[in-house]
Every structure is written in structure tokens, then in C-alpha cells.
Amino acid sequence: MNGHLRTITLAIFFILTSLVNTGCADTIKEPSVAGSFYPAGEKELRETVGTFLSNAKTMPQKGTLLALISPHAGYRYSGQVAAYGYKQLQIQNREVRRVVLIGQSHHEAFRGASVFTTGRFKTPLGNVRIDEQSAKKLLNENAGVKYYPHAFAKEHSLEVQLPFLQSVLGEFTIIPILIGSPTRSTYDHIVSELTAMIDEKTLIIASTDLSHYHGYQQATDMDRRIIAAIERLSVQNASELLADGKSEMCGSVPVMIAMEVAKRHGANLGTLFTYANSGDVTGDRDRVVGYASMGLFRSPYTDDEKKELLRIARDAIREHATRGRTIEVEIKNPKLNADGAVFVTIKKQGLLRGCIGHVQAVMPLYQSVIKNAIAASSSDPRFPPLKEEELKDVEIEISILSHLQKLKDIKDIQIGTHGLVIRKGYQSGLLLPQVPVEQGWDRDAFLKHICVKAGLPEYAWKDSELYTFTAEIIK
């Protein structure tokens, strides 16, 4: 009998081992900082988070919240700041069922990034299931994105977000990502894969604190600079500030990834919900840590904003045509200050009179309008510079471009929705979405004309790189 029991026991052991090895067993990631960063008891934790949320002010809705930037210190220090972001999530008129959590590893040094791909994360408020299928899609050996669960063993940056999420959302899954020492390939891969998998029910949360251990005023100055860059959605400006030591973020790469992905899904507004530092809590202002709660939104342009952009373009053209000068304007609207890619088209009596723009968002939207309005009126090689007497007869059209998406199948081109960019070697060309509609082209004609625009043979698209984009057209 003992022999039979021993055989059965061994069989069960091997079955369970097999389940663990194949990922079928339900792995539970135990909390690392319950009882230190936040209360370990369910009742106390629920009440603590509830109080933070009650004290957070509700802000006017600014569009669709695509990403949150949230601090990750102990709740005593940054819990109230974090609550502001989760308060905005709570009042959003959208259903969030999946959250991408991105943080920087604080305890383990490793190359690339680690994605926790299986099981659940546990907090005193219950377990949160991982979206295993999506998490595993992120894995890529060449990019250094792997399943390295040991990186999460002591990590707090993602864990402290969970009780807030559990308090404001219903059922949801997570994709937990920790950044180690990423290569450019790591960064590009994660941005690309997240861009492809994000949908209307997915939210990104980048976990970061700001400046570390400076005096109160210096910390505030450093933090305001990086906050302004994030409000403008300028990855370039934020990177420069960090590289120059003018600002600090311990979760800089997670924030950059969140900004990149959000922009590719139409984010055009960064908003600060609240800011504080540890000196505001403890009273010790000698060595403080900065905290900010921010949101990245996709916000439709209002009629007033469209009119303002058209006014800026017309004023820029008039000033340059009459006086040879570039206008100077002060713009307070954060949406118009956010980096944007713009083409300005000028028509005279219905005929093209100039069209120049930026494919990439490299400067604030209003500045891009000014620069390209002047260029379209004076530097389009197809036309002479616009004269003062022509001003009364011109019409202005502004196209705000989305991020370029590499085209996989020409059948995906939608006439009237997609613009096209072609690249082959040193040659490239762009046609805006409205062009094939105005010209009455079908898809084949659109492809031929984009080749001609780039100075290529009509069928060069077959072995060239093609990209699509959409545009918000203001006229």
C-alpha cells in the first residue's frame, strides 16, 4: 500500500511541476512593500486610499485619458499626489479593462527590460490578473525584453499603483514591465509593440518620482522644467533636460515610452493634476524628492482653437509678405503649445499656391504653423513668393498630422482617410489625405502619384517603404 501511495505522490508531484514549468499554474506575486510603503491590512489600506481619493480635486474633463504619470514613494509622501491622477481616471467616461504598468527597476541591475508574463499580483485588496497573452507578445530576445521575475521580487514602483487601481476600476488585467538598462532596440521594440496592442480599453501608467535630494527651491525649479516638457509631449526636450542634469526622473524611460505610445494614439495634451515634494509633507526642505501626477490626453481641437491656428497662419503670411518679418505671439493654450506636425497649404482661386510642412512633431504646434505658413508662402520651389497684393485672394488650410504608421498591405489604404509617405534611398515624398479626394484618384492612382511626387518611377512603391497617416484638416 505504501508503495502505491508513493507512486501516486510522485505522479502528482511531476504533474504539478509540469504545470509550473509550462506556465499553467497560477503564479502569485506576493506584495513586496505592504506594511512599509502602504498599510498591510485590507481595511486600513482601503480607508487610506479612499481618503486620498476623497481629498483629491476633480478637474475638468480634457478628452480621453491615454496615460497617467504617477509617483511611487511611500503613501505617506506621495499617496495624495498619486490620488489626483486616479481621481481623474475614476471620473473618465470610458471603460478601462487593461493597464500597462511601466516602471524602472530599483533593486536589480539587468540589461533590457523584464515583463512579468504569468499569474497574478497580490495586494491586501486582492489579486490582479496578468494579461498573459499580451505580456508574452512583448518578449523579444534580440531587444533584451525577457521574463525575469526576480527583478520584481523587491520592486515597489508598480506595486504601489495597484491599490489605487483596485479602488477605482472594476475587473482589470495588467501588463507589468520593469526597465533595467535598456538599449535603443529595447525602447523601440516596447514602443512599437505597445502601440500595436493599445485599444480604447487600455491605459498606460508610467511610474516615476522626479528630482531627488536637492534643496526645496532647486528641486521645484528642476521639476517644473520636466513637467513643462511633458505637458508639451516633447520627448526630445525632456531627454535634453535629463541629459543636461537640469531635471531628474528615476522613471525617465517609462515616461518616455508612455509619451511615445500616447502620441501615436493621438495624444496632443499633457496636463499636470498636482505637484508636491517630500518637503511639503515632512517640513524638511533640505533634501527633498519631487512628485507629480499627470495625464496624457487625446483632446479634440475646438472651433475656437482651429480659428486661432488659422489666424496665426494668416498673420504669419501677411507679416512676412508685407514686411519680411516673422510674427511673435504668446500662446497660453497648452494644446497649441504641445509639439505637433503640421502642413500648411495655400490656395489661390482654388488652385495650389504653396504647401510645406513637417512630417515629425519637432516643435510646438503654433510654432510649426508659423514656420510652415511662411515657408509655404515664400519657399515652395514650385511657386514664386507670395506678393502682398495676392493676400486677399488666398485660402489657408492647416493639416495636423498623426504619427506615421508603416504600411503592411496596400489594401489597408483608405482614400480620404490616409495620407501617404514613400521613402526609397535618399528620395521621399508625401501626399496629404485630402489630395486623392480632390483629384478623384483611386488607390492605384494614389500610389502612382506618390511615386511621382518623390521623383521615382510610377511603380517604385512595390519595393519602397510606405507609411500612412491621418490628418486633422482645418480650413
* CATH of residue 444: 3.30.1490.150
Q: Give 106-121 as a 3 state SS string.
A: CCCCCECEEECCCCEE
- Which of the listed residues 277, 298, 319 is the one where a domain comes to its end? 298
User: Could you tell me if residue 50 is inside a domain?
Assistant: yes
Are residues 414 and 393 part of one domain? no
Same-domain pairing of 311 and 458: no
pLDDT value of residue 18:
36
**Mean predicted lDDT score pLDDT of the chain:** 94
pLDDT of residue 62: 84
Q: How far apart are CA 104 and CA 158, in angstroms?
A: 9
> Considering only CA atoms, which of 97, 69, 102, 94 is closest in space to residue 194?
102
- Which residue, chain included where needed, has cell 476633480? 58
Q: How many domains does the chain have?
A: 3
State residue 286's pLDDT score. 96
96 shares a domain with 223: yes
* DSSP run (H or E) holding 319: helix 303-323
One domain for residues 245 and 264: yes
- In this structure, is residue 1 part of a structural domain? no
Pairing status of strand 126-130 against strand 288-298: unpaired
Q: What is the pTM of this model?
A: 0.90
Instruction: Tell me how far apart the alpha carbons of residues 447 and 458 are, in angstroms, rounded to a whole number.
Output: 8
What's the CATH code of the domain at 384? Answer: 3.30.700.20
Is residue 1 over pLDDT 80? no
Do 235 and 340 fall into the same domain?
no
Burial of 423 (0-12, 13-18, 19+ CB in 10 A): middle
Supply the pLDDT for residue 23: 40
Picking from 113, 98, 99, 96, the residue whose alpha carbon sits closest to that of residue 180 is: 113
- Is residue 3 included in any domain, yes or no? no
Q: Are residues 218 and 155 in the same domain?
A: yes
- Whether residue 168 lies inside any domain: the answer is yes
For residue 413, give Cα distances in angstroms to 274, 422, 457: 42, 13, 20
Same domain, yes or no: 83 and 163? yes
Question: Are 241 and 226 spatial neighbours (Cβ–Cβ below 8 Å)?
Answer: yes
Residue 14, in any domain of the structure: no
Given a contact cutoff of 8 angstroms between Cβ atoms, the answer to whether 244 and 252 are in contact is no
Residue 15 inside a domain? The answer is no
pLDDT in tens, 48-61: 999 999 999 998 88
DSSP 8-class letter at 140: B
Helices 235-243 and 252-264, interaxial angle, to 10°?
170
Residue spans of alpha helices (H) in 211-251 = 216-231, 235-243
Estimate the crossing angle of helix 216-231 against helix 235-243, to 10 degrees: 150
Instruction: Give the residue with greater pLDDT, 246 vs 11.
Output: 246
* Residue 404 near residue 421 (C-beta atoms within 8 A): yes
- Of the chain, the percentage scoring pLDDT greater than 90 comes to 92
CATH number at residue 231: 3.40.830.10
Residue 329: inside a domain, yes or no? yes
379: DSSP letter:
T
Report the alpha-carbon distance of residue 174 to residue 78 in Å, rounded: 22
Q: Give residue 9's pLDDT band: very low, low, confident or very high (50, 70, 90).
A: very low
Over residues 135-179, the pLDDT tens digits come to 999 999 999 999 999 999 999 999 999 999 999 998 999 999 999
Do 241 and 337 belong together in one domain?
Answer: no
| Domain range for 362 | 301-401
Q: 366 and 389 in one domain? A: yes
What is the predicted pLDDT for the residue at 19? 35
Of all residues in the chain, the percent with pLDDT exceeding 70 is 95
Residues 263-289 have a mean pLDDT of 96
Helix (H, G, I), strand (E, B) or coil at 338: coil
Same domain, 80 and 215: yes
Q: What is the pLDDT of residue 93?
A: 82
Compute the average pLDDT of residues 310-330. Answer: 96
Which residue, of 342, 377, 401, is where some domain finishes? 401
- When pLDDT is cut at 50, 70 and 90, the band that residue 25 belongs to is low
Where is the domain boundary, 298, 332, 364?
298
